[in-house]
C-alpha cells in the first residue's frame, strides 16, 4: 500500500495540484489558471457565485485526475487527504479570508467546498502558503528532527511559518506568522500591505530592486549594469548576475539585504528562540552572497545568550519548483501523525 | 486541605519569598538581600562557592520559615511546590545562566541546589521573571481563559512572556520571549544589552527619560519642570506628574513611548496573533496616557487582518507589589495542572 497525499497550491496566477508520497516525491502534477480579480463581475463588492463554482469545479476535476492517475500507476494506492496552501488561508476554519490578490472577496470556506466534492476523503486541510512550506520542511526537509524552527519564504512578498514545540503557530485567529510585516525601519518604505517600513519592503524581490536604485541615487553610479536597467526591468536575477561579475552596487544590494534580513531574523529569535531558521526562495541560490551578511547581521543584533549559540540559518530542502504542492501535501501527513 | 505554592523572586537587590494560595492570595511574605556582584571575591572570573552556599542557606531558611508560618496558621495545609523567577532563568534545566546583574557567574543550577534542601517537595521549577508574570496572569489574572497571549513587563528593562496554545514558549534552549530586545530603530539608542536600537532602549523607565531629554534638546524647552531635573534625577513618576499637570514635554514623552511600544506590540502580533497583550509595570498606572497612544500605534502598524480585530491591550491583573512572588508561585500550579 502506497500512501499518497494531494497537495494544492492556490497562487495568484496558477493553482497547482500534485500527488505526493510520504517521502515528498511528486508522482504527478498539473495546474489550472486561478481566476483573476478582473474576471469577477462584482468587482470588490462581493464574490461571484458562478466564478467560484466554475473554479471549484475545475479544481475538483484536476484533483480527481491526479487521484486517477496515481491509481493508474499503482493499484495499491491509498489517498490519505488533501492539503491546500493559499494566501490568507485560515487553518482553523478552512477559509481563505480577504486575500488581496484573489477574486474571492470576503471569506470563502474552501475546505467545505472541496469536501462536498470528495466526501470519502476525511483529511482536507488548508493553511497559508508559508505555513505549508514550514510544515513541508518539518515533514520532508531539513527540520525533520526539530521542535522549534522558523521558515521565511522570500519572493514577491515575505511569508513565514513558525513552529513551537513541534506545532505550527496559528495564534488566536489562525493568522500568526506574518513576519514579513514586522517593523524594520520606522516610517521607512511603503509596504505592499499599505503600512510603512516593514521587512517585506526591504528583503522581497522588489525590496532588493528598491535597494539597488537607492544605491544608484546615493553614489550617482553610471558604470554599473544596473544603471542601464529601468525600474520596471530590474529583477533579483539581474542583480545576482551583476554581483557575480563583481559589480559594486549589486554586491552592496546583497550586503544590505542580508543586513536587513538578519535584523528581522534576530527579532524572530528574540520571540521564539528557534533551533534554526530556514530560508526559501530564489534568492537562496545566491549562497554566501546572501547567507553571510544575513548571519553576521543576525548575530550582531542578538542578545549574547543567542548569538553565542550560533543559531543556524539554512536553505530550505524543499524542491524549488514543486515546493508549493509538496508543502501543501505535508499538511495531510502532519494531521495524520498528530 | 489548603494547597499552597511557594513563590521565590530573585531580583538584583532583594530575593522575595511568599506563600501563595491557588487564588493568588499571599498568606505570608518575607525577603533577604540578594548578594551583589561586588561581594563575589572572584569578580567576573567565576562563582564563589562560599557566596553561593551562604545565599542558598539563607534562602532555604526563609523558604522553611514561610512553610512553617503557613503551617502554623492552618494545620491542614499542603505545600505543593516551589516556583522561582530569576533573570536569565532557564525553565528546561533549572539554571540561572549568565545573568548580567547577579554575582552567580556562568551557569548555576538553582533547582538542584534548592531540591537538596527540600527533598520532599516534588515540584521545584524556575523560569525568568517575565515568563513567571505571564504564567501568573494565566493562573490568577486576566488571561485565565486565554490560550494565546503575550505579557510585557515594563520597568528598568522590558521583559516578555509569550503563551501559544496555552503553553509558555520556551524555545529551543529555554530563553524565548526576549521581546525587549527586538529592533525598534536600526542603529538607534544603545541598549543595556550592548546592542543598538532595541525596544527596551525606548520604552523602559530609562527609555522614557532618554525620550524626555531628547525632546528638551529638540525644542530647546526651558519652561518645563523636566528642564529643572538632572539626567540622573528624572524618573517616570516625575514625567507622569508633569504630564498630569499639562506639561507638553511630558505629554509628548507618553505619546512617543506609546508610539514605540505599539510598534513593538505589532511585531509580536505579526509573529503570534495573540488574543490579548498584557502590560505590567508602574507605567500602566498612567492609564490612557500610555494605553491610548500604544493601541493607536499598534493598530496603525498592523496588517488589516489584525487591526480590524481590535486586539486588546490590557493592564496586568497581578497585584503590583506582590506580582513577582505571585507570578513565580504560579509556575507550581501550571506544572501540577499540565
Name every chain A residue with its beta carbon within 8 A of the beta carbon of B162.
271-272
Q: Is the dihedral of CA B238, B241, B246, B252 positive or negative?
A: positive
The rounded distance, in Å, linking the Cα atoms of A107 and A89 is 10
DSSP string, B62-104: HHHHHHHHHHHH-SSEEEEEEEEE-TTEETTTTEEES-TTSS-
Name every chain A residue with its beta carbon within 8 A of the beta carbon of B44.
none
pLDDT at residue A209 greater than cutoff 90 = yes
The confidence band for A168, taking pLDDT boundaries of 50, 70 and 90, is very high
Question: Residue B167: CB partners within 8 Å, gap ≥ 6?
Answer: A165
How many of the other CB atoms lie within 10 Å of CB of A230? 6
Look up residue A60 and give its three cell numbers: 475538483
Phi/psi region, residue B106 (left: phi>0; alpha: psi -120 to 50; beta: rest), is left
The predicted-structure confidence for A173-202, as pLDDT tens digits, reads as follows 999 999 999 999 999 999 999 999 999 999
Look up residue A134 and give its three cell numbers: 514550514
How many of the other CB atoms lie within 10 Å of CB of B233? 10
Question: Is there a contact between A286 and A240 (Cβ–Cβ < 8 Å)?
Answer: yes
Q: What is the mean pLDDT of chain A?
A: 95
Provide mean pLDDT across the span A76-104.
92
Name every chain B residue with its beta carbon within 8 A of the beta carbon of A175.
273, 305-306
Looking at residue A48, its pLDDT comes to 85
pLDDT at residue A67 greater than cutoff 90 = yes
ipTM of the complex: 0.93
The rounded distance, in Å, linking the Cα atoms of A133 and A85 is 9
Name every chain A residue with its beta carbon within 8 A of the beta carbon of B172.
147-148, 273-275
At which residue does the C-alpha cell 482553523 appear? A92
Q: Is the dihedral of CA B161, B162, B166, B172 positive or negative?
A: negative
Name every chain A residue with its beta carbon within 8 A of the beta carbon of B170.
273
Q: How far is A178 from chain B (nearest CA, A)?
A: 5
- Cβ within 8 Å, pair A271-B170: no
How many of the other CB atoms lie within 10 Å of CB of B177? 28
pLDDT at residue A136 greater than cutoff 90 = yes
The confidence band for A85, taking pLDDT boundaries of 50, 70 and 90, is very high
Name every chain B residue with its beta carbon within 8 A of the beta carbon of A150.
none
Looking at residue B276, its pLDDT comes to 98
Q: How far is A311 from chain B (nearest CA, A)?
A: 10
Q: How far is A277 from chain B (nearest CA, A)?
A: 12
3-state secondary structure of B18: strand
Q: Which of A26, A50, A27 is nearest to A39 (CA)?
A: A50
Query: Which residues of chain B fall short of a pLDDT of 50?
Result: none
Looking at residue A104, its pLDDT comes to 85
The predicted-structure confidence for A266-303, as pLDDT tens digits, reads as follows 999 999 999 999 999 999 999 999 999 999 999 999 99
Q: How far is A151 from chain B (nearest CA, A)?
A: 12
- Cβ within 8 Å, pair A175-B273: yes
Q: Which of B54, B51, B118 is nearest to B84 (CA)?
A: B118
- Cβ within 8 Å, pair A175-B147: no
Name every chain B residue with its beta carbon within 8 A of the beta carbon of A301.
183, 195
The predicted-structure confidence for A217-248, as pLDDT tens digits, reads as follows 999 999 999 999 999 999 999 999 999 999 99
Nearest CB partner across the interface for B272, out of A148, A167, A169: A169
At which residue does the C-alpha cell 544605491 appear? A215
The confidence band for A42, taking pLDDT boundaries of 50, 70 and 90, is confident
Burial status of residue A221 (CB atoms within 10 A of its CB: 0-12, 13-18, 19 or more): middle
Looking at residue B320, its pLDDT comes to 84
The confidence band for A12, taking pLDDT boundaries of 50, 70 and 90, is confident
The rounded distance, in Å, linking the Cα atoms of B112 and A330 is 42
Nearest CB partner across the interface for A270, out of B172, B178, B186: B178
Nearest CA in chain A to B194: A303
- Cβ within 8 Å, pair B182-A305: no
DSSP string, A77-107: EEEEEEEEE-TTEETTTTEEES-TTSS--SE
- Cβ within 8 Å, pair A271-B272: yes
The confidence band for A74, taking pLDDT boundaries of 50, 70 and 90, is confident
Nearest CB partner across the interface for A273, out of B98, B173, B304: B173
- Cβ within 8 Å, pair A301-B195: yes
As beta bridge partners, residue A126 has: A84
The rounded distance, in Å, linking the Cα atoms of A276 and A138 is 12
Amino acid at each position: 500500500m502506497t500512501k499518497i497525499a494531494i497537495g494544492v497550491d492556490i497562487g495568484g496566477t496558477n493553482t497547482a495540484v500534485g500527488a505526493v508520497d510520504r517521502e515528498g516525491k511528486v508522482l504527478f502534477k498539473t495546474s489550472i489558471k486561478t481566476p483573476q480579480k478582473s474576471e469577477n463581475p462584482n468587482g470588490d463588492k462581493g464574490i461571484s457565485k458562478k466564478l467560484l463554482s466554475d473554479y471549484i469545479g475545475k479544481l475538483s476535476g484536476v484533483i480527481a485526475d491526479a487521484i486517477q492517475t496515481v491509481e493508474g500507476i499503482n493499484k495499491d494506492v491509498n489517498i490519505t487527504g488533501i492539503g491546500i496552501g493559499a494566501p490568507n488561508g485560515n487553518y482553523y476554519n478552512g477559509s481563505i479570508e480577504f486575500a488581496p490578490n484573489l477574486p474571492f472577496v470576503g471569506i470563502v470556506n474552501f475546505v467545505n467546498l472541496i469536501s462536498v466534492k470528495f466526501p470519502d476523503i476525511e483529511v482536507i486541510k488548508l493553511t497559508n502558503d508559508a505555513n505549508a512550506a514550514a510544515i513541508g520542511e518539518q515533514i520532508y526537509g531539513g527540520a525533520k528532527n526539530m521542535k522549534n524552527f522558523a521558515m521565511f519564504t522570500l519572493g514577491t512578498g515575505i511569508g513565514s511559518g513558525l513552529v513551537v514545540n513541534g506545532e505550527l503557530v496559528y495564534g488566536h485567529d489562525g493568522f500568526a506568522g506574518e513576519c514579513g510585516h514586522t517593523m524594520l525601519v520606522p516610517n521607512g518604505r511603503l509596504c505592499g500591505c499599505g503600512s510603512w517600513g516593514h521587512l517585506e519592503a526591504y528583503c522581497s524581490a522588489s525590496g532588493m530592486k528598491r535597494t539597488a536604485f537607492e544605491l544608484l541615487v546615493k553614489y550617482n553610479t553610471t558604470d554599473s549594469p544596473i544603471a542601464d536597467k529601468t525600474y520596471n526591468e530590474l529583477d533579483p536575477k539581474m542583480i545576482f548576475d551583476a554581483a557575480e561579475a563583481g559589480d559594486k552596487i549589486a554586491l552592496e544590494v546583497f550586503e544590505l539585504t542580508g543586513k536587513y534580513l538578519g535584523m528581522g531574523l534576530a527579532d524572530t529569535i528574540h520571540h521564539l528562540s528557534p533551533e534554526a531558521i530556514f530560508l526559501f526562495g530564489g534568492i537562496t541560490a545566491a549562497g554566501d552572497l546572501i547567507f553571510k551578511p544575513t548571519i553576521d547581521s543576525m548575530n550582531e543584533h542578538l542578545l549574547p545568550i543567542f548569538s553565542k549559540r550560533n543559531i543556524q540559518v539554512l536553505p530550505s530542502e524543499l524542491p524549488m519548483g514543486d515546493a508549493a504542492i509538496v508543502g501543501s501535501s505535508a499538511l495531510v501527513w502532519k494531521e495524520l501523525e498528530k
